[in-house]
Each structure stands twice: as structure tokens, then as C-alpha cells.
Structure 1
Amino acid sequence: MTATAARPESTVSAWRSPLTSYYLLASATGILVLVGLAVVLSSSSIASIRTSEGNAYAGFLTQLIALVVGMAALIVGSRLPITFWRRIAPLVLYASMGLLVLVFFAGEAVGGNQAWIRIAGFSLQPSEIAKLGLALYLGVVLSRFRDRLTNPKHILMPGGLMAAIVLALVLLGRDMGTAMVLVVVVAVAFWVAGVPARFFGIAAAVGGAGIVALIFSAQSRVDRIHQWATGSCTDTAECWQQTHGTWALASGGLWGLGPGMSREKWGWLPASDNDYIFAIIGEEFGLLGTLLILAAFAMILIAVTRIVTRSTDRFVQIAGGAIGAWIVVQAVINIAVVLEFLPVTGVPLPLVSSGGSSLIMSLAAMGALLAFARNEPGAPEALAARPSVVRRSLAVLSRGRRG
């Protein structure tokens, strides 16, 4: 009875630990990155053979380079103080805005979206930088004016104005999927900051009218939404991607076909290493693999909720909530598209899909969240009390020798 009673108590104490958020974020990041790397290697190999003079590893090597850069950003960023993230916020936002403007003069159009810049042989997507920059910037300005956010002037200046400019620049590049994610980032930042609910009603009405206007400004968007809403396909090409994505998930069953054994990656499923990588995960690793991905994003959601509710720093609460909304909501949109719950929008699965800009900035964002988690009440003391890796290793070796 005593041993049985001790287990729930130890579980509760572990949950209440100030380091729970930190370990949840670190574990979820590790799961998503490792699964993503394995599936990118599998799903990108066929396309790489066709486009890179027979080199099956070309796409994977690009992803590997991005992973190294992103992990460096995560490791360094997680160890930096909160003051660093406050100071760098305006610089990141202004740099991303400058690059978004540069897209219109020297950018590349992919899939109808003008959103990429070619630098030294690599494609850079400035809107990915804007996600992190806007989340951090709103954390700075909204925490500064937190006692005056019942006044429309202080809501719009400067946070609302900068958010509107970034959204306008992204929409000018016709990237509606990224714009949707940015709207969620802004909404969550203002919500956590304590903006009254009536302002969200006004913003929803204005935003809804704008979304309708944007949808009807492009016939391709109207066609996609009509096909999704009605389930009708007058042309096989209209629903080719959704159909093959569903087939990939269905053929995986419970256990999957096995690593590298996808059939749909052989030219049947477009964007199999990017927007539709979740379908390949289901095909190769089955239902259990997809549930693992969902569990990892749930861990991030729980950790971010803990950071927002436990932290005493308003900047950390607002910026952490906005970053968490970006990662989790973008994942929900991506997965919902693959499952045909939403029309095709073209957003990658964070930390999993191929794409250097997305992976690097997602890992940098996780570094910021880890830094915030390391500064939860009681976390610095708990981290200082932990024995170092070297000491733990020496202790294990000494026990082995005595045994």
C-alpha cells in the first residue's frame, strides 16, 4: 500500500517541478526533429534523384545543414538571459521587415507565392523570421504598456501598427497560409497581454471581411475552398494531393509500412517532404507514428501553458504564449489540411518538414521557449542544484568499479 501510494505522489511532485516545462520542451523538440529528419531523408530522396543529377541525398544534406544551424541557435538561445531576448526583439523584427520588402525586388515565386530570396545558393523565407520577430516584439511593447491596453491608441501604437505592416507585406507576397499563422500569433499575444474581449470582436469582424476579400481575389483559392467544402472534383488535378495524402495515411495502418518504405513518395504525392510530410509519417510509421507527433505537439502546448501561467515576467508570458501559438497552431493547420479538415494552405509542419528557413527559425523559437522555461520560478535554483553531466558520468563509473 505504501509503495502504491508513493507512485502518484512522486508523479505529482514531478509535475510540480519547476523544470517540468523545460523537460517537456526538450523532449518534444527531440522527438519532432529526429522523426522529421528520418522522414525527410526518405521522402526527399526520389525528388532529389530527379533534380540533383542522381544524388538522392541532396535534399537531406540541405536539411542537415539547416538542422546544425538551428540546433546551434537553440542551444545558445536557451542559455541566454531574458534580457537578451528583449533587446534583440526589435532587431529581429526590423530585419525581417527589410527582407520582406527585398522579396519584391529580388525574390522568387514558388507555388504562386512571392516569398523567397536566394542567398549563396540557399533559399531564405523572410516570413519565417517575421514570426519570431513579431512574437518577441509584441512581448516587449505589450508588457511595457500592459496597464494602458484598454485604450485603442495604446493597442494600435506601436504593437498593432507593426503587426499590420508585417501582415501586409506577407499578404502582398500572396502567402495566405503564413498570414493566418501570424494573425494567431498577434491574437494570442494581445489576449495574454490582457486586451479586453470587445476589441477582439471588432478585430474579428474586420479580419473576417478581409479574409473573404482575399479569398475572392484569387480564383485558385475559391476553387480549393469549393472543392474542399463540397467534396466534389471536376478535375482530378484539383484533389490529387488530398487524395494521395489520404491514401498514404490509410495504407500505413497501425504499424506502418516501415522506415523508407513509402509508396506515395515515388512521385505520387506532391510536397511529400514538406507540406504533406505528416501523410508520409502515417504511411511509414502508421497510426502510432502520427500519435507520437501529436503527443509531442501536445507536450509543447502544455509546457507553454505552464510558462504563461507560472512566470512572473510579463514579457515572458506574452512572447512565450505567442511563440507557442505559432508552433502549435501551425502544426494543427498542417495536420488538418492533410486530414482534409481544411483546404490546402501550404504551411509546413514545424520542426518536421523540410525547409531550411522553417527549421532554423522553429529551433530558434524553441531555444527562446527553453530560455523562458529555465527562468520559471524555482527553475534556476533547480538547475543549479543538478549535478553536472561530468559528475553524473563519474558517479556511474565509480559505482561500476566498486561493483
Structure 2
Amino acid sequence: MRVVDTTRTRPVPPEPEQPRSGLAARVSLGRVFAPVPSEFLLIASTALILTVFGLVMVLSATSATSEDAGGGPYDTMLKQAVFAAIGIPLMFLASRFPVSFWKRMAWPALILATLFQMLVFTPLGIDNDGNRNWISIAGLQAQPSEFLKVTLAIWLGFILYRKRTLLADWRHVFIPAIPVGIAVIGTVMAGKDLGTAMILVLILLAALFFSGVKLRVFLLPLVLFAGGVAYFAVSSPDRMRRYMSFLNEDCLADYFGDCYQPLHGIWGLAGGGVFGLGLGNSKEKYSWLPAAAHDYIFAIVGEELGLIGCVVVLVLFALFAVGAFHIVRKTDDPFVRITAGAITVWIVGQALLNVGVVLRLLPVFGVPLPFLSQGGTSLMSVLLACGVLLSFARTLPVRTAASVTQPVRGRLPR
């Protein structure tokens, strides 16, 4: 009589689940420190480095003028540091939200940001250099249009994602993306802020491009918006004169006019040479360069840190672009691809526009240098956008050493 051993095939009953406590609780909390994709680390590190570097340059550019205004040398930098202290945790908090959260918030966020922008036309609105695009609440100034950039990118990503199977028809491409986009941009143009409006147009065109619409459908809004920008530039003689000043070959003849700031920006860059005058040793910041801490902070970087400092800043933006575009390339979610592409084109494109203005290669648009220029609202909106990118980066597969070296079961390793 043969005896059959049934212990090998007999199923083992599962153990009753024990309540989590002690070590188990600590293990669950350890998921917060789980491995993240390299794109997450690249975007987060470059954003943090640029933000800290921007605080240092704002301090250097405003220390002398802050004392002349009756305050301390650290007043302006401390105000900027408060927004950085709020924006950096906000960035990492936003990185924890799932992609489904951003899809649900697309419409509410854009509506709230547009209503916030409409406050510039109330008694809270103030004029700044001919633009009514600022509000003042309890002595604190804010630029609501900065939040339109990130919310418009998210909204466009959601709308074009929902219509991804219908984008071959130009009517589905244009409605509601184009009418809503024109309305949002119109709230900014009503305040005569052409620079911010151009960035919003850039975001809209980038979203259409990364959605994969046909070229002939993409060209029509491109021509429409290019014509609109040209019309608003030509319709104002004062704005046209300022924009075309960069083509003036004899700019010294108009030294005290529209060429004053561009000339001092170029002189600041040229005065720094290769190695710069040293941190804090700028001459242009002593009221020679009016927007030293704002639109022309790149000139102060070049004067104090030289060509090397300028190259470092550009390399950091290039690394940021590499990490962000890797998300666009690797993701399988159309919403992530469109939104990440629009945000990346906004931040990197605005940086290139700012640098081109300082180098007198482009007209004066009045757009800040992301992360570096003085402006709490601008810094917070850029850090929030980085949080959205980090949230998207968490959806990418993590490439670890074990996953690379471990062969697939059932196959021989090569």
C-alpha cells in the first residue's frame, strides 16, 4: 500500500491580519521616502538651487537701494524669502497629489484664477509702469495673472485630453480651448500687460502642439495670435516705441529715453567680464539700472559673477528642461504630456525671453526671470507649477539597480 504525502499540496490557511502598531506604523510612514524617478530629483533640485540663488541675487541687487529707501539691506530679500518659504513646501505638497486630482481641479482652478485676475479692475487694482495688472491688499502687492499661467496649462491639458479622439476635427480643437483661451488672455490684455499675455499665448500654442493636432490646424491659431500681438503692439505708439528701441543703432542718442535701461543692462553684463566683479560688487544696482532686481536681474548676475555665473544659470534651466521633457516623452497619459509640455515651454520660454531682452536681442517685454526675479507671486506660481511636474514625475516607473540587473523569469540573461 503506497502512502501519499499530502503536506506539499495542502493549502496553508492565511494568518489573521494583526493591527498595525509600533514598527508596522513606522514602515508605512517610510513610503513617503520611497524611491522616485530621476526626473523628480532633477526638477526638484534645479528648482531649489535656482530659488536659493535667486534669493542671494535679490539681496545683492536691492541691498543698497533698500537702505536708501529707509529700510534695512535685508528687507526686500526677507519679503522674497517669505514667499519662497511658502512656495517650496507648497511645491512638495502639490507633488503628492495624484494626476486625477489635477484633472478634477482643472475647471475650478481656472475659474478662481480668472476671478482673482478681475480684481485688478476693482479699487484694489494699481497701475505699475503703465500696466494695470497688480492688486494691493493690506499693503501687500500681488500679480494675479501669474496664477493664470499654471491654471491655464492644467485646464488646456484636461480639455485636450478629454477630446483626444476628436482632435482630427478642427472644431473640436478650437472649442472650447480657443474661446476660453482668448477670454483669459483678454483679462490680461485689458490691463495692458502684453508681456504676460504673450506667455499665455505661448502656453496655449504649446498645449496644442503636444496634443498632437495636425499642422494645418495648429498654424491657424498661431497666425491669429501672432496677428493679435502685432495689433496690440502697433496700436499703442508708446508701446511700439519701447519695443522697437532694441533696433536703434544709435541708442546713445536716446540715452535718457527708451534706451536708458537696455544700455545699462548691456553695460552691466559687459562690465562683469568672464569672472565678474564679485558677489555684491555691482555698480549698476546703485539706481543706475531701474529694474535691477526684477526684469534685469540677469544683468546683475553677469556683472557680479561674470560669464561663468550666466552660464551656470542657463545650464540649470537646461537641466530643468531635460527633466521636464523626459516626463513628456515617457508618459502614456495624454493629460500629463500636454500639461507638462505647456508648463515646461512656459518656464523655459519665459527664461529665454528674459535673457534675450537683457542681451538686447528682443524688445522689452517686461517678463521676469523665473525663480530669480523679485516678485513673490511669480515665484509661488512657478514653484506650484514645479509641484505639478513633480506630481507627474511620480507616475513614471522607477528604474532601480535591481530592476536592471535581475533577469526576466523564464528567459536566459543576455
Report if TM-score (shorter chain) is over 0.5. Answer: yes
2:59 corresponds, among 31, 41, 55, to 41
Q: Where do 1:4-403 residues align within 5 Å? A: 19-51=37-69, 53-106=70-123, 107-233=125-251, 234-236=253-255, 237-376=257-396, 378-379=397-398
Report the AA paired with residue 251 of structure 1: G
What is the deviation of 1:155?
1.5
Report the AA paired with residue 132 of structure 1: V
Q: CA separation of 1:367/1:18 partners in 2, compared to 1, >3 Å: closer, same or farther?
A: closer
What is the deviation of 1:55?
2.1
| TM-score (normalizing by structure 2) | 0.85
Does structure 1 retain, via aligned residues, the 8 Å contact 2:201–2:225? Answer: no
Does structure 2 retain, via aligned residues, the 8 Å contact 1:18–1:382? Answer: no
Report the AA paired with residue 254 of structure 2: D
What is the deviation of 1:344?
0.8
Partner deviation per Cα, 1:38-67 (whole Å, 9 max, x = no partner): 00011012222233x232222111101110
Does structure 2 retain, via aligned residues, the 8 Å contact 1:256–1:282? Answer: yes
What is the deviation of 1:18?
7.6
What is the deviation of 1:328?
0.3
Partner deviation per Cα, 1:153-185 (whole Å, 9 max, x = no partner): 212222222111111111111111111111110
Report the AA paired with residue 78 of structure 2: L
What is the deviation of 1:199?
1.8
Q: Distance in 2 between matches of 1:383 and 1:115?
A: 50
Q: Which runs of 4+ in 1 moved over 4 A?
A: 381-385
- Return 266-275 or 218-227, whichever deviates more: 218-227
Report the AA paired with residue 27 of structure 1: S
SS in 1 for 2:176: helix
Report the AA paired with residue 88 of structure 1: M
| Alignment coverage as a number of residue pairs | 366
Report the AA paired with residue 134 of structure 1: L
Q: CA separation of 1:348/1:339 partners in 2, compared to 1, >3 Å: closer, same or farther?
A: same
- Return 225-234 or 247-256, whichever deviates more: 225-234
Does structure 2 retain, via aligned residues, the 8 Å contact 1:63–1:354? Answer: yes
Q: Distance in 1 between matches of 2:178 and 2:212?
A: 14
Q: RMSD of the alignment, in Å?
A: 1.9
Does structure 2 retain, via aligned residues, the 8 Å contact 1:92–1:129? Answer: no
Does structure 1 retain, via aligned residues, the 8 Å contact 2:102–2:154? Answer: yes
Report the AA paired with residue 121 of structure 2: F
What is the deviation of 1:281?
0.6
Gaps of 5+ in 2: 1-34, 404-414
The percentage of counterpart residues that share the same residue type is 40
